[in-house]
């Protein structure tokens, strides 16, 4: 799973996810891509599940680029813990994805093959997405 090797701060503030993506809205590497239509946290596990879905469909053909990286630690308090007593411990890593962000790109495959691979990946993600092409 994807996660940073080293971070400056163990715990970070949540921040707002309102608005659209500032950058990463155009295809830079591949011919086809998967673009988010909503803002959300995408966990490293969801990202890995989507990657596996794409690579299994493409088999050994084509090339895949992952344009997002889970660099934000999400904390969670232990179960049956009373309120207060500080912030919980980091449990998993997330990537903040705003609406309009390109998450995956593929090239070297047919349009139909890429579209099907992106559809399979979108089932693994908690947000609405759309297929984009150059």
SS (H, E, C) 30-96: CCEEEEECCCEEEEHHHHHHHHHHHHHHHCCCCEEEECCCCCEEEEECCCCCCCCCCCCEEEEEEEE
pLDDT tens by residue, 8-38: 999 999 998 899 999 999 999 999 999 999 9
Residue 129 inside a domain? The answer is: yes
Residue 15 inside a domain? The answer is: no
Residue 2 inside a domain? The answer is: no
User: What distance in Å separates the CA atoms of residue 134 and residue 32, rounded to the nearest whole number?
Assistant: 6
Q: How far is CA 49 from the centre of its chain?
A: 10
Residue 1 inside a domain? The answer is: no
Residue 40 inside a domain? The answer is: yes
Residue 16 inside a domain? The answer is: no
Residue 105 inside a domain? The answer is: yes
Which range of residues forms the domain containing residue 105?
32-75+89-133
CATH code for position 94: 3.90.1170.10
Is 101's pLDDT higher than 90? Answer: yes
pTM flag (> 0.85): yes
Number of domains the chain is built from:
1
Residue 10 inside a domain? The answer is: no
């Amino acid at each position: 799973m994807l996660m940073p090797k080293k971070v400056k701060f163990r715990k970070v503030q949540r921040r707002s996810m309102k608005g659209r993506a500032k950058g990463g809205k155009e295809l830079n590497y591949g011919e086809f891509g998967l673009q988010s239509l909503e803002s959300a946290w995408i966990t490293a596990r969801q990202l890995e599940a989507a990657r596996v879905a794409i690579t299994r469909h493409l088999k050994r053909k084509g090339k895949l680029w992952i344009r997002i990286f889970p660099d934000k630690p999400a904390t969670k308090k232990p179960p049956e813990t009373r309120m207060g007593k500080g912030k919980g411990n980091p449990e998993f890593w997330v990537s903040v994805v705003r609406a309009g962000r390109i998450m995956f790109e593929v090239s070297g495959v047919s349009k139909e093959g890429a579209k099907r691979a992106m559809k399979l990946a979108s089932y693994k993600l908690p947000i609405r997405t759309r297929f984009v092409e150059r």
